[in-house]
Amino acid sequence: MGRIYRIDMTDLQVRTEEAAGSYAGLGGRALTSAIVAEEVPATCHALGAENKLVIAPGLLTGTGAPCSGRLSVGAKSPLTGTIKESNAGGTAAVNLAKLGIAALVVEGQPERGKLYRIIVSKDGARVEPADSLAGLGNYAAVEGLFEEFGDKVSCLTIGPVGEMVAAAANIAVTDLEGRPTRHCGRGGLGAVMGSKGVKAIVVDPAGGSRVQPADDAAFKQAAKTFAAALKEHPVTGTSLPAYGTNVLASIVNEAGAYPTRNFSEGQFEGIEAISGERQREVILERGGKVTHACSPGCVINCSRTYVDKDGQYVTKGPEYETIWAHGADCGIDDLDAIAQMDRIEDDLGIDTIETGATIAVAMEAGVIEFGDVQGALNLLDEVRRGTPMGRLLAAGAVVFGKAYGVVRVPTVKGQAMPAYDPRAVMGIGVTYATSTMGADHTAGYAIAANILGVGGSVDPLKPEGQVELSRSLQTATAAIDASGLCLFVAFAVLDEPKAMEAICGMLGSLQGRPFTAEDFAAIGRKVLLRERAFNRAAGFTDADDRLPRFFKTEKLAPHQITFAVSDEELDQVFNFEE
């Protein structure tokens, strides 16, 4: 069933309970959203004592299932004001599952200015002062924690931006090499962790063990079938391992949907210099790694290790979204500069998508020019120093846009849009508009059918079929997030029936009961309904499920089209509520 550790930062005490009642049998996003929806007042201030930070491995995490090492972190978002689940790889989820922990719930709030760390092991959880970590970047903080606790632990940390409780702050999770490169990036959950006075959470898996399915033999067979399906699919078995997530850059640019210079154009003339193909060449030339697992048990290996001209480690990836946000969106075509910005932001503990988008808004405002690499680096230095300009940047694109009177600010519910223009990929526009968590491509990845032809084909330039596509994908994604599986397994699931059958086989043999595709979809629907109910109680209405108006009034080159899905259609996305 799994234990829940409730860590009260007001009195620094820890309570232990079983994941029972309405929380029984839940994992990942299903559990984080259930706890937040049930226990956090929807109208509370996200940085106040009433908010809760919930950390949970998925249902399949720790079982040995392929690509099941994802971690869910949930809270009310200080960036959007909505419920939020942010998802990351790394080693923490597997280690929590090995210890039999269903969730950590960080509650309350300490005296202002106090900083703590939480230590989780087979003996339970405890809270200790962490004043020595104050002001440290994630890399230095993790290095110090590893020196003290050994290199087998997992660390969740916040950087200086989280300590500032800035709305774009994220939570870093250590990877297989012990580096803070995997991030619960979106929604400002690092600010929630900072508001609780928690600088670091250390998870020591010593004494833990693999999660044992009810029918281990059946589970192992289903896992084997699932791994084979992932390796056989052209996206998860060939494209992603060869070129990483940035394989999409040239594809999306060719489709005219690659947002350029703050969403003013759909194609970037400097695409070749920052493409996945060029990234692979650079990494190979310098002796980096072009295949890398972001979490234990990954069989896709779509991450990279980027090194400088001397072969010295710089950062992971960088991933597609990060390269776009600091590349085309800012008019920059320099991979080394983008990698440098990625490393800085990982160390600061700030979301790369939100930050790149905010720098692009700053460029639109004339603070610096599009394409100004040194200007962008200077802005990040402002963030590190905590200057007024730096704090504006760390507050996100909406706040910065308001401060500088920028009209074109590509956000929904306060969160910056990722690397697909909704005018040229209307399915992702529906997801951006209606997701329970603000503009979020991972909430319902319509690029699959709109651009890649995975799971069928829906014309990206026409409104027909986009609502149905987004609805089904948002439902499936919520269930995947609950399972602890990587979102990228969806490529195989959408095309190959045996992949879905294998997931059901793993979940069924884990729990010792029959489990169907309909059961899987039901998980997703229940998660979405809970999240929607929270948002409604927080004051959100159908009028919030909209894209910024400029997407309907400004035509996007090269297609010269606007977003054409009507408001009435957007309001039908969650019609399974009826």
Do 182 and 90 share a domain, yes or no? yes
Mean pLDDT calculated for residue range 283-289 = 96
Residue 306 lies in a domain: yes
Boundary residue ending a domain (419, 435, 452) = 419
Query: For a pLDDT cut of 90, what percent of the chain falls above it?
Result: 99
Boundary residue ending a domain (387, 419, 451) = 419
Residue 221 lies in a domain: no
| 3-state secondary structure labels for all residues of 504-531 | HHHHHHHHCCCCCHHHHHHHHHHHHHHH
For 407-432, the pLDDT digits (tens) are 999 999 999 999 999 999 999 999 99
- For the residues of 436-484, what is the DSSP string, one character each? TTSS-GGGS-THIIIII-TTS---TTS-TTHHHHHHHHHHHHHHHHHHT
- For residue 230, the model assigns a pLDDT of 96
Residue 147 lies in a domain: yes
- For residue 324, the model assigns a pLDDT of 98
Residue 514 lies in a domain: no
- For residue 169, the model assigns a pLDDT of 98
Do 283 and 167 share a domain, yes or no? no
Do 345 and 273 share a domain, yes or no? yes
Boundary residue ending a domain (419, 440, 472) = 419
Mean pLDDT calculated for residue range 330-334 = 98
Residue 128 lies in a domain: yes
pLDDT band at 298 (very low <50, low <70, confident <90, very high): very high
- For the residues of 482-512, what is the DSSP string, one character each? HHT--GGGHHHHHH-HHHHHHHHHHHHHHHT
Residue 533 lies in a domain: no
Do 375 and 311 share a domain, yes or no? yes
For 155-196, the pLDDT digits (tens) are 999 999 999 999 999 999 999 999 999 999 999 999 999 999
CA distance 29 to 281: 37
Phi, psi of 6 (to 5 degrees): -100, 115
Do 129 and 46 share a domain, yes or no? yes
Residue 84 lies in a domain: yes
Do 287 and 160 share a domain, yes or no? no
- Domain membership of residue 339 as a residue range: 258-419
Do 272 and 408 share a domain, yes or no? yes
Do 387 and 278 share a domain, yes or no? yes
Do 38 and 155 share a domain, yes or no? yes
SS3 call for 237: helix
CA distance 32 to 466: 28
In this structure, what is the dihedral angle of CA atoms 175, 179, 181, 183, given to the nearest 10 degrees? 70
* pTM of the predicted protein model: 0.97
> Mean of the per-residue pLDDT values for the chain?
97
Mean pLDDT calculated for residue range 306-311 = 96
Residue 7 has pLDDT above 90, yes or no: yes
Residue 400 has pLDDT above 60, yes or no: yes
For 496-516, the pLDDT digits (tens) are 999 999 999 999 999 999 999
Q: Among all chains, which residue has been given the structure tokens 């001209």?
A: 309
Residue 577 has pLDDT above 60, yes or no: no
Do 135 and 18 share a domain, yes or no? yes
Query: For a pLDDT cut of 70, what percent of the chain falls above it?
Result: 99
pLDDT band at 576 (very low <50, low <70, confident <90, very high): confident
Do 331 and 195 share a domain, yes or no? no
Instruction: Specify the CATH number for the domain of residue 99.
Output: 3.60.9.10
Do 152 and 268 share a domain, yes or no? no
Residue 1 has pLDDT above 70, yes or no: no
CA distance 173 to 183: 6
Instruction: Specify the CATH number for the domain of residue 300.
Output: 1.10.569.10
Where are the strands (E) in 27-77, listed by range?
Answer: 53-57, 71-76
Where is 353: in which H helix or E strand?
helix 352-364
Cβ partners under 8 Å of residue 128, min gap 6: 116, 117, 118, 119
Where are the strands (E) in 347-404, listed by range?
Answer: none
- For residue 578, the model assigns a pLDDT of 43
Report the domain count for the chain.
2
Residue 167 lies in a domain: yes
Residue 71 has pLDDT above 90, yes or no: yes
- For residue 207, the model assigns a pLDDT of 96
- For residue 531, the model assigns a pLDDT of 98
For 94-148, the pLDDT digits (tens) are 999 999 999 999 999 999 989 999 999 999 999 999 999 999 999 999 999 999 9
